[in-house]
Amino acid sequence: MIVKGKHYRTIWLSKDGWSVNIINQVALPHKFIIEKLKTLKDAAEAISQMKVRGAPLIGVTAAYGICLALRKETSDTSISSAAEVLLRTRPTAVNLQWAVAKMLAFIKKIPESNHEERIRVAYSSASKICEKDVIACRKIGKYGLKLIRSIYRTNNKDTINILTHCNAGWLAAVDYGTALAPIYAAHEDGLPVHVWVDETRPRNQGASLTAWELGQQGIPHTVIVDNAGGHLMQKGEVDLCITGTDRTTSNGDVCNKIGTYLKALAAKDTNTPFYVALPGSTIDWSMKNGIKQVPIEERNSEEVTHIEGYTKDGSFSKVRLTPKKSFAANPAFDITPAKLVTALITDRGVCEAKRSSLRSLYKR
């Protein structure tokens, strides 16, 4: 997508052909910083520190992390060790496990003694995973555009208002994104789109990342506090909701950023369509019950008790919000049951959030 008139992806190979460039998303929206990953440790820390985030991008970064690990040692033992390092970084996003498993399968087909070929295959495989993500997100945009266009024509309003939660745009993928891909497609198609952007506490990824993305693309948007969504739906000011997902179970339960479940409940009560956008790599076919089976990442409580930002003099500062003796819980995700999801917007098409529909779509 576009940043200050120039096209970027969130991750790409450097000119040297082996190191990996990323956009440091922790610095956004105030600074646009490109960082270089040179080691497995760099890749793992980029994921755990959320310099890169979003299920699809985490997966691609992990794939390149395996490549970087191979530059040091190419044995099966070292590859498996590298995989374990990456898998420990963030437990909820299934794309991470998917990408690592794909990489190991490709690499281990090559004899351990053929070091150079293993490295070549690794980089080739990571590149393919990267490109497939871009293609999948484009398709999500195409299928989602049809829904947005239909709702716009049915409602017959001057503007179509879409609410989204957290960040599931191009910053969460390699390009285009998932939840924002249909919005970008609608904007390019000339539809008068306006986006309600949940701030998404505690890391404020809506206020900092989604708002920044939309602004760069020239799409009208308004940042709102997390608890305003239900009010706007009651007032008829939300025509549809679109969120992303970090893991969707085979029965259609959706694991996404904390607060998604409450938006889905409000949407159900107000008859507001609630869509979830995802590529096939985000479906966990091994799970049938999101509430019982999906591991929920518990992040550092300091993300809740403190907040970061820039002061008037331009310095970066972290300040405490809560009393020093108050405890804080910080679950990063919640589960939205399939029954609250109007439909899933996938790279294969739009389907109901249920096992039979997903299996039919993906020929499982």
| DSSP string covering 183-225 | HHHHHHTT--EEEEEE--TTTTHIIIIIHHHHHHHT--EEEE-
Nearest-5° Cα angle at 265, 261 to 271: 135
- Would you state the pLDDT for residue 315? 86
Share of the chain above pLDDT 70, in %: 100
Please check the confidence at residue 312 and state whether its pLDDT lies above 90. no
Supply the pLDDT for residue 3. 92
> What is the average per-residue pLDDT within 174-190?
98
pLDDT in the model for residue 4: 87
Position 269 scores a pLDDT of 99
Catalytic residues: 246
pLDDT over 90 at 93, yes or no:
no
Residue 131 CB neighbour total at 10 angstroms: 13
Q: What is the pTM assigned to this prediction?
A: 0.95
**Three-state DSSP class for residue 91:** coil
Tell me the domains of the chain and their CATH numbers: 2-132 (1.20.120.420), 141-362 (3.40.50.10470)
Q: Quick one: pLDDT band at residue 92, thresholds 50, 70, 90?
A: confident
Report residue 239's pLDDT band, with 50, 70 and 90 as the boundaries.
Answer: very high
Q: What is the pLDDT of residues 199-221, one digit of tens each?
A: 999 999 999 999 999 999 999 99
Residue 176 and residue 144: Cα distance in Å, rounded?
Answer: 12
- Asked if 220 and 194 touch (Cβ cutoff 8 Å), the reply is yes
> Are 243 and 144 contacting, i.e. CB atoms less than 8 angstroms apart?
no
Asked if 215 contacts 32 with a C-beta cutoff of 8 angstroms, the reply is: no
CA distance 34 to 125: 23
CA gap 120, 111 in Å, rounded: 13
Q: What are the pLDDT digits (tens) for 328-348?
A: 999 999 999 999 999 999 999
From CA 95, how far away is CA 100, in angstroms rounded?
8
Q: Based on the number of CB atoms within 10 Å of its own CB, is 154 exposed (0-12), middle (13-18) or buried (19 or more)?
A: exposed
